Amino acid sequence: MKPQLFTIRSEGGMSLTASSLGGIVTSLKVPDAAGKPRETLLACSGAALHHGNGYMNAIIGRVGNRISGGGFSLDGVFHALAQNSGGKKHPCSLHGGGVGFDSHVWDVEKYEAAEGPALAFTRLSPDGEEGYPGNLFVRVVYTLTRDNAWRIDYLATTDKPTVVNLTQHAYFNLSGGARDVSEHIVQVNASRYSEVDAGLIPTGRMPAVEGTALELRSPVRLGDIFARASKDPLLKAANGGIDHNFVLDRTAPGLAVAAEFVDPEGGLAMQVQTTEPCVQVYTANFLTPACPARKGQKYGKHWAVCFETQHAPDAPNNPSFASVRLDPGEVYRSTTLYAFAPVDFDSGCDCDCDCDCHDHK
């Protein structure tokens, strides 16, 4: 089946274009402070190129992130998975295996939901696909809400016990890709992170972010993070930036704020809300300048940030993590919102000190 592009537009001035190939979003525009449409995602010159460039803007599954040990055991049966990452030293299954959800053409329905215009992506992942048990029916809905948010609703059912951990690998750059994200500000509502080994596989420990380069509970300029990356062991191990799973400080089920992302120069802010317990923050540390970007743009390392809402990586092999098991008769549900708003930064300072601060209105 040949991939097709679909576009939806909201009353608030947002627009989203996505391909039936992997649910890959090729454009997400939101109104900036001047009311003009601003591109917020990096994108390649063609949807098929997104897989080889960091799974850019695609639906990830059956299980996002890494699974170690060649696979996982479920009810005493070992299920071997494709080892598509980590090389010979640290082999693992990454983002669903060799042919994950991002590489399949989905059925797409365009319709008007209660919250706004929507695209529903559906497919049946057959029993044994990439080594995973059970026929898994998956439905992922992209909705543009009336208050300028990109809402993603995930749903899945199975006919055999299996594991599921879906996410979206969107590469956000609120300048529209005009520059890297060094001047962007990030904040993550997490007191702990997943410690990983040399192969970026979780050890099972979840230490505190306090006193580390991953202390993002207050707003941090990303350029300051990158400046210390060559010397900081946590950042150096992730190829010079952030590529870590953060355990969110949740107080109740339902949607909760996971992160904030702001471009002061461009006057645009994004808030990440999710029902998930974790978020993988990735600062495009492996994105190469050879990435065939849209309209002649050139991307590279640190040119975007991904906020991949999820359960903890390698959960099928770590009983101390929240389970990603799905049984027949159960329904997997997950929701994430990327909510946008223009912001105004005044370079003046109203305080009495002799400083160079910025007031955030």
What pLDDT does 250 receive?
Answer: 92
Give the integer Cα–Cα distance in Å for 200 and 14. 36
3-state secondary structure the chain: CCCCEEEEECCCCCEEEEECECCCEEEEEEECCCCCEEECECCECCHHHCCCCCCCCCEECCECCEECCCEEEECCEEEECCCCECCCCCCEEECCCCCCHHHCECEEEEEECCCCEEEEEEEEECCCHHHCCCCEEEEEEEEECCCCEEEEEEEEEECCCEECECEECCCECCCCCCCCCCCCEEEECEEEECCECCCCCECCCCCECCCCCCCCCCCEEHHHHHHCCCCCHHHHHCCCCCEEEEEECCCCCCCEEEEEEEECCCCEEEEEEECCCEEEEECCCCCCCCCEEHHHCECCCCCCEEEEEECCCCHHHCCCCCCCEECCCCCEEEEEEEEEEECCEECCCCCCCCCCCCEEC
The yes-or-no answer on residue 51 being catalytic is no
Distance CA 45, CA 300 (A): 15
| Per-residue tens of pLDDT for the chain, all 361 residues | 899 999 999 999 999 999 999 999 999 999 998 899 999 999 998 888 999 899 999 999 999 999 999 999 999 999 999 999 999 899 999 999 999 999 999 999 999 999 999 999 999 999 999 999 999 999 999 999 999 999 999 999 999 999 999 999 999 999 988 999 999 999 999 999 999 998 889 999 999 999 999 999 999 999 999 999 999 999 999 999 999 999 999 989 999 999 999 999 999 999 999 999 999 999 999 998 777 788 778 889 999 999 999 999 999 999 999 999 999 999 999 999 999 999 875 543 333 433 343 333 3
Catalytic residue chosen out of the listed positions 51, 302, 308, 311: 308
- Please give the Cα distance from 187 to 219 (Å, whole number): 5
Q: Annotated catalytic residue: which of 50, 169, 184, 244?
A: 169
5-344 maps to CATH 2.70.98.10: yes
What residues does 78 pair with on adjacent strands?
73
pLDDT of residue 113: 96
pLDDT at 263: 96
Q: Is 330 marked active-site?
A: no
